[in-house]
Amino acid sequence: MKTIVSLLLVLVSYTLQAQITSAQIKSDLAGKEWKIIKYETFGVEEDPKVEQVNDKIVLNKDLSFFIIENGKEYMGNWSITADGKVTCKSKSGEWSRAYKVISIADKIATIEYQGPDLTRTLYRLETK
């Protein structure tokens, strides 16, 4: 019985956890260079591979972005959706991503990307 109550308390506290707001994204995530320091897929966290060593995300305050992903550079504009996702679209329209911001604390942030095959990847970010 104690185990069930404990699990329910954890579940309730998890669902009541504060959502990241668009104001937090604009003030705490934007305007900084975020280096990707870890990738996590299917619960397995990995260091960046050779082609990912310089990967980063820069969301500028003017709503432009610069992203290096797997060694390739992308530039364009970003926006925030009503449900707190950051949507990035390249200037050419050929590349886009929607990131769910999981947490932002001090110099560490975690975002999630769900690919077309429904695979979710967590990105652990660090800023100076």
Q: For residue 4, what pLDDT is reported?
A: 52
pLDDT string in tens for the chain (128-residue length): 555 544 444 444 444 345 788 888 988 999 999 999 999 999 999 999 999 999 999 999 999 999 999 999 999 999 998 778 999 999 988 999 999 999 999 899 999 999 999 999 999 999 98
Class of CATH domain 19-126: mainly beta
The answer to whether 123 touches 48, Cβ cutoff 8 Å, is no
Contact 61, 80 (CB under 8 A): no
Residues facing residue 93 across a β-bridge: none
Share of the chain residues as helix, strand and coil, in percent rounded to the nearest 5: 20, 50, 30
Model pLDDT, residue 84: 80
The Cα–Cα gap between 48 and 50 comes to 7
**What is the model's pTM?**
0.80
